[in-house]
Amino acid sequence: MATDLRKKIAIIGAAETDTVGAIPDITQLGLHGQAARNAIRDAGIDKSQIDGLACAGESVVSVADYLDIQPRYIDGTSVGGSSFMIHVAHAVLALEAGYCNYVLITHGESGRSRVGRGGFGSQSATIPGQFEAPYGTFGPPNTFTVPIVAHMKKYGTTEEQIASVAVATRAWAAKNPRAMFRDPITVEDVLASRMIAWPIHLLECCLVTDGGGALILTTADRARDFKKPPVYILGTGEGAENMMISSMHDFTESLAFKNAATRAFEQARIDRSDVDHLMLYDAFAHTPMYGLEALGFVKPGESGPFFAAGKSAPGGELPINTNGGGLSYTHTGMYGMFALQESVRQLRGEAAAQLDDVKVSIAHGPAGFFAASGTVIMTNQAP
């Protein structure tokens, strides 16, 4: 029976932009911001209390960044004019479940003046279009990668350590007949591969492939009636931080990663030592390093030595990216689905590189470079 949600959730703030009509001096993103500010003031709430954000028409990450909040409930459902009713519906569930405490839902649209609106031919008026693109960013290889030198500077992380992520991942790919690249590689091979954006080489960049995946979920009691052993969701988390790589707060860590990871562990109520297997979305060799640190399996700065010691590789203490990852298995563009698939295979006991006795697996990854993040903790242990 469904949870009784009657009278459980209420609206505490509501406001529009200062004016409506023609607003030629404020961008579309600014309109989201102004409406949000007015609702915050209407409620008399402190901005720092808002831990949930939903919007349509602009990226939920852009609105979060504009307000400088880092929500850990995000709903970017954008299906048209009634998206906001759907945001309310989701928010009711999230709030009732205690997943977050205050959800802000925003709308802003420069429909008449078309100021600072994304879309064909007008990207140069967006914030990233003005403050990043003119400096030669063309996509993930020279943008997603920008933070790693700050990590190297702060922690002494080396090019060899970063390269070792790709080496370990390839060792797993060698065990997976479906992987695109299966020949073993060394740190020397990685560092000798073509330079893409120093300190990142070709073999430290994900593949570009075609493919897909899907999941079906139901309630735990229903799940027992189906053919395959259930994989139970122990915890989930999400986070949003920056609309541009350059608006990250600290280039040695991702706040979106941390919020997603922290939320997921809070919900799962397990220790790191309970986790047998990790899938850390590897768009580039540095991405799983930030993931490992955000999830708390090593202290900040210790991911380089961890990977260099082979701890994630076959035979290591914490197997990571056992399908061969985005670096060697496959990477369609939005690889997160494949990370989830490998977690499920490991927990069912049907992976190509099957581990012994896997009870808990985590799939964690970025979205939009380090802009946002999601974490799912799964187990095969029945409730």
How far, in Å, CA of 167 to CA of 203, rounded?
9
Beta-strand relationship, 52-55 and 73-75: parallel
In whole angstroms, the minimum distance from the beta carbon of 231 to another protein comes to 38
Return the number of the residue (127 or 355) whose C-beta is nearest another protein: 127
Which DSSP category does 205 fall into?
Answer: B
Return the number of the residue (148 or 340) whose C-beta is nearest another protein: 148
Return the number of the residue (77 or 142) whose C-beta is nearest another protein: 142
How far, in Å, CA of 252 to CA of 151, rounded?
5
Which DSSP category does 325 fall into?
Answer: I
Q: What is the CA radius of gyration of the chain?
A: 22
Return the number of the residue (114 or 359) whose C-beta is nearest another protein: 114
Which DSSP category does 247 fall into?
Answer: G
How far, in Å, CA of 180 to CA of 156, rounded?
32
Helix (H) or strand (E) holding 238: strand 232-240
In whole angstroms, the minimum distance from the beta carbon of 59 to another protein comes to 15
Return the number of the residue (147 or 304) whose C-beta is nearest another protein: 147
Provide the token pair at 100. Answer: 């977050």
232 neighbors 267 (Cβ within 8 angstroms): no
How far, in Å, CA of 311 to CA of 305, rounded?
9
In whole angstroms, the minimum distance from the beta carbon of 56 to another protein comes to 20
320 neighbors 328 (Cβ within 8 angstroms): no
SS3 176: coil
Binding residues for another protein (CB under 8 A):
24-27, 30, 33-34, 37, 40-41, 47, 66-68, 115-116, 122-125, 127, 129-138, 141-143, 145-150, 152-153, 194-200, 244-247, 251
In whole angstroms, the minimum distance from the beta carbon of 150 to another protein comes to 4
How far, in Å, CA of 196 to CA of 130, rounded?
24
Return the number of the residue (26 or 95) whose C-beta is nearest another protein: 26
In whole angstroms, the minimum distance from the beta carbon of 158 to another protein comes to 12
Angle at 338 between CA 89 and CA 279, to 5 degrees: 95
Angle at 293 between CA 283 and CA 155, to 5 degrees: 95
Return the number of the residue (66 or 335) whose C-beta is nearest another protein: 66
In whole angstroms, the minimum distance from the beta carbon of 117 to another protein comes to 10
In whole angstroms, the minimum distance from the beta carbon of 282 to another protein comes to 17
- Edge-to-edge order in the sheet of strand 52-55: 73-75, 52-55, 103-106
Return the number of the residue (110 or 346) whose C-beta is nearest another protein: 110
In whole angstroms, the minimum distance from the beta carbon of 199 to another protein comes to 7
SS3 89: helix
